[in-house]
Structure 1
Amino acid sequence: MTSRSSHSPATRIGLISDTHNLMRPEALRHLAGCDAIIHAGDICNQAVLDALRQIAPVTAVRGNNDTGDWAASLPTHATLSVQQVTIRVVHDIADLGADPRREGVGVVVSGHSHKPSISERDGVLFVNPGSAGPRRFKLPICAGILTIEGAHASASFDSLLT
């Protein structure tokens, strides 16, 4: 008799933000093999989304620098469910609104600050993958990975440039 594992295989979601019209080859390599990609805004050009869609399905939100006809259809907030985890995406964390726990959100992905961070508050995982676009000040150039297994989510980010 063989036993089967009852848990779902992990889903890997690439996290990227603040590309500001710069789709780095290092970012594309980092995201290769992901099951899906989240772009947390300040995309600045449709070509960035097109390049990401060559890798995996993309969920993107509009950032404060995303203007023009190409960006008009991008939402300011997005919510998606992966396995048993609900993810809320917003460009600026200040625009999150209501307490995400009340809406059953387990992960919040944001951008805007260009500062990569991962923290947990009241059972909600907050992830900012930093900026994968042009360097700002002395902040790192980063992208992240969100791994979901059933109802568990974990995140990491990596520097794209050494």
Structure 2
Amino acid sequence: MTKRGGQREHRVGVISDTHGLVRPEALAALSGSELILHAGDVGGPEVLAALSAIAPVTAVRGNNDRGRWAEGLPERATVRVADATLFMLHDVKELARGAGAAPVAAVIAGHSHRPAIREEGGVLFLNPGSAGPRRFKLPLSVARLIVQGARVTAEIVPLSVPAGRPG
């Protein structure tokens, strides 16, 4: 992507909890990504196909991903971008069961449908929120990671759904 301080910036799109719904607003927000990470509850292979039209996709299986199509999705994935290791699973509460031995720059999880960014012990924790059917009054969103060397920063990208369209 761009260079700052001599290191290339990598733009990674992050999405979760689509539950089979591919919103045009989500696709637009993820355009320009070099890689897309889907943190589970995909809902069907058509979601992965639509995302793959934008960039390569790495996805993990969520608690609602069932059937033959979902059997190929791992429960956890480790992805290397530049000098940063990103660890992905669907429910961050399952992290206690072992993130792996290698140190990670970021942990990416969905499940709660609540967008959040926090740092703990030098590790970035990101939940992109839900880009699928609206749950309660929670916002619809995706996220963007910028990876430069071993440094990872994140931002939540709210999705605006036109009035009158099912949420």
TM-score (norm 2): 0.90
2:103 maps to a residue whose letter is: G
Matches within 5 A, 1:144-159: 144-159=143-158
Shift in Å at residue 7 of structure 1?
Answer: 2.7
Q: Following the alignment from structure 1 to structure 2, what is the Cα–Cα distance between the partners of residues 48 and 143?
A: 14
- Judge conservation of contact 1:100–1:106 (CA < 8 Å) in 2: no
Q: Following the alignment from structure 2 to structure 1, what is the Cα–Cα distance between the partners of residues 122 and 100?
A: 8
Q: Following the alignment from structure 1 to structure 2, what is the Cα–Cα distance between the partners of residues 134 and 6?
A: 40
Q: Which residue of 2 aligns with 1:13?
A: 12
TM-score (norm 1): 0.93
CA distances 1:24-53 after superposition (whole Å, capped 9, x unpaired): 000000000100000000001100000000
Q: Which runs of 5+ in 1 are unaligned?
A: none
Q: Which residue of 2 aligns with 1:78?
A: 77
Q: Please give the root-mean-square deviation of Cα atoms over the aligned residues, in Å.
A: 1.7
Shift in Å at residue 15 of structure 1?
Answer: 0.4
Percent sequence identity over aligned pairs: 50
- Judge conservation of contact 1:101–1:124 (CA < 8 Å) in 2: no
Matches within 5 A, 1:37-52: 37-52=36-51
Task: Specify the SS of the correspondent of 1:51.
Answer: helix
- Judge conservation of contact 1:10–1:148 (CA < 8 Å) in 2: yes
Q: Which runs of 5+ in 2 are unaligned?
A: 162-167
Change (3 A) 1:123 1:160: same
Q: How many residues align?
A: 159
Shift in Å at residue 103 of structure 1?
Answer: 2.0
Structure 1 window deviating more from structure 2 (90-99 vs 151-160): it is: 90-99
